Copies of this chain bind each other. A is one copy, B any other.
Amino acid sequence: MTGQVRTVDGRVAGRRGQATRQKLLDCLSEMLSSSPYRDVKVIDVARRAGTSPATFYQYFPDVEGAVLEIAERMAAESAGLAGLLEGRSWAGRAGWQTAQELVDGFLEFWRKNDAILRVVDLGAAEGDKRFSKLRTKILNSVNSSLAGSVAELQSKGRIDKDVNPAAIAGALVAMLAAVASHQKAASSWGVKQAELKPSLALLVHLGVTGRKPTK
């Protein structure tokens, strides 16, 4: 489907090569978690992987290229986020439950991949189309599902006809992403993790249904 994995100079990578490549990606991931993106150097990644910079450049055009690779893999995993909303109801207590689980799942996913998501966010904000696309892809499963729910409730008159469901959904998802990527900061600023989640769930519920949840 995706074709074989290839080196920069066109050769197809064999077993050993793929293992090395993967090791480089893993080490890059670790580096991204432990040091500022700006300071991640090819030579450090290579050293950590027990190989040389030249090897790195055989598999990736540059650091950004490797980051994209990691991000794409993660984007594939992100499809699982859609499961947080599939077949869920937004009515009554079930609605509150849905909102809570969405927030939980979302924050968890973000926490698990925070290092790489930071870089994707930055790239997207800087206007790089490849990162924007990736970010859209990651958020899209949740986003479109939420938009669908909003549209449905809109047709029942709960929400004004002139709001764009996709816009509401986009704003809510952006909120979740933003809060998730500043979780640590939030705590240092007077709000605890445990207090954050219910607030987010409340806002999601309000945004989707236009009503306060019944708990």
Q: Which residues of A contact B (CB under 8 A)?
A: 36-38, 63-64, 114, 118, 121-128, 132, 135-136, 140, 159-160, 162-164, 166-168, 170-172, 174-175, 177-179, 181-182, 184-186, 188-191, 195-196, 198-200, 202-203, 206-207, 210, 212
Contact A175 B171 (CB under 8 A): yes
Contact B168 A202 (CB under 8 A): yes
Determine the chain B residues whose CB is within 8 A of the CB of A167 once the complex forms. Answer: 191, 195-196, 198-199
Contact A196 B171 (CB under 8 A): yes
Least CB separation from A186: chain B residue: B170
Contact A127 B191 (CB under 8 A): no
Least CB separation from A132: chain B residue: B185
Contact B163 A202 (CB under 8 A): yes
Least CB separation from A196: chain B residue: B167
Determine the chain B residues whose CB is within 8 A of the CB of A186 once the complex forms. Answer: 170
**4 tightest Cβ-Cβ pairs between the two chains A and B:** A175-B175, A178-B178, A167-B199, A174-B178
A168 to B195, CA, bound (A): 9
A168 to B202, CA, bound (A): 9
**A121 CB to nearest B CB, Å:** 8
- Given known A122-B37, A132-B188, A191-B164, contact A196–B182 (CB-CB < 8 A): no
**A104 CB to nearest B CB, Å:** 15
A38 to B123, CA, bound (A): 10
Determine the chain B residues whose CB is within 8 A of the CB of A128 once the complex forms. Answer: 36
A110 to B164, CA, bound (A): 23
A167 to B118, CA, bound (A): 22
A63 to B38, CA, bound (A): 10
Least CB separation from A197: chain B residue: B167
Partner of A210, one of B162, B179, B184, B206: B206
Contact B163 A199 (CB under 8 A): yes
